Structure 1
């Protein structure tokens, strides 16, 4: 911080952030702090310069989606995306400030300016690309249709027609299920999804292939299988608000991701959390 006034204002702003485990994003955007106002005046609205002037980048994530973002046995926020975001922040010369919330509120918080970026296994879709600027992809994963082991009624995506599934409503997986004619039940997190599936209250759920493997590693006796696996991988990237103010931030994040891909950091983190390299589409 350049002066005490900025430090005090930033501390007040940080106190408003919801950082507790399982907390949800506040629906009302906080008032712009003195520090943020001063940074905006000094940097002409350039978000990267504001972030570097403040010394922190605010990162939105769920905190309930292992192994992407979750809490360990000591209640520490950990996961692939936590480490990716932390290393990006280091390359930008700032500290990450993680704010947790339910999926449906994260993108809304990004829209409102409560978060600088969202790092939460976000797939690039045409609809999202119209609304947000995305970084270069930092991960790739295929979509799995997960059912109970004895359910042989779903062997292709087309078989979802007339079936029931569960996912967070605005997720790519919910959209894909609805596209193929399924009725989607909205849930808050992955644990609720599997509770519905294993209790027989839904026919299937869609999620990342690697998320299924991670769940089965922790629950080896779970009555679940992959019934369908898509051939093409989804591109996972970091969304941020559209506009000239984010151009330099996006470029800096792209550079950080490519450096991490080149030096093997993304590969190492992928293998640590997923048991395989998801940093390339090869």
Structure 2
């Protein structure tokens, strides 16, 4: 019996959640549990842990990245909170949060009608993502989605770029062939670099990092496709609403004193904390 891709993704996510107990020992307490306020509320945070510069493991085996360091700074400013990180894919993170195995997702989350109804978004923006087409370095003809009709394009499941391509296909005379992955930008860019996809849609600074650190033969081209505000995402209940309010207070202070800008410049290469101009 042939299984659909959607079913396989759901099955994979469920199996990953089933393995959370194995990951329990991998929670991120690099700063030392002795420094944690014993009365602090522990908030379990699902994060990919594999996507630089947002959430990744550094050369010393320490979980870091823009999203992770924001929450570490929030904890420093508000000792009533303690964040414990659990690495997992996005699909698994949603399954885990729906089953109350994690409290929160730190993974460049964006608003959508379904998410707004089901989860809590803090009010403060983490950063804005600027996404462009990614093509092989020797491709000098692809500049827009129109140039990709009938060709393979790699997208990350649940991303705004996936939504953009699906919407394009609704009216296209020749639709784009979509390759879905939940492994994030590293996989979509690798698919392009190895010729298994003609293009992807990723953030400019991620492409720059990949070219510099992994020597991938790719480049970002064309106009800006999307510029989207990103947030943390929390389980919807009274306790998590209080946590969201505390995160908002800390993020607002970080924005006002320049800390958020400094983190963005350190990890993202520039200040993406304000909405970019057209």
TM-score range relative to shorter protein: 0.7 to 0.9
Match of 1:156 among 115, 125, 144: 144
CA distance in 2, matches of 1:199, 1:190: 14
* Residue 73 of structure 1: aligned partner: 59
Q: Report how many residues are paired.
A: 238
- Which of 89-98 and 152-161 deviates more? 152-161
* Residue 35 of structure 1: aligned partner: none
Shift of 1:277: 0.5
Pair 1:158–1:131, CA change in 2 (3 A): farther
1:215 alignment partner, SS class: helix
* Residue 247 of structure 1: aligned partner: 241
- Which of 100-109 and 228-237 deviates more? 228-237
Match of 1:192 among 187, 196, 201: 187
Give 1:217-256 correspondences, 5 Å limit.
217-219=212-214, 221-230=215-224, 233-256=227-250
Shift of 1:197: 0.8
Give 1:94-173 correspondences, 5 Å limit.
94-135=81-122, 136-173=124-161
1:270 alignment partner, SS class: helix
Structure 1: segments with no counterpart, 5+ residues: 1-23, 31-50
CA distance in 1, matches of 2:18, 2:141: 41
Pair 1:124–1:228, CA change in 2 (3 A): farther
2:143 alignment partner, SS class: coil
1:193 alignment partner, SS class: helix
* 1:93-131 per-position Cα deviation (integer Å, ceiling 9, x unaligned): 132211000122112222221222111122223443233
Q: Is the 8 A contact 2:135 2:220 kept in 1?
A: yes
- The normalised TM-score by structure 1 is 0.75
1:120 alignment partner, SS class: strand
Q: Is the 8 A contact 2:57 2:64 kept in 1?
A: yes
Shift of 1:265: 0.8
* Residue 90 of structure 1: aligned partner: 76
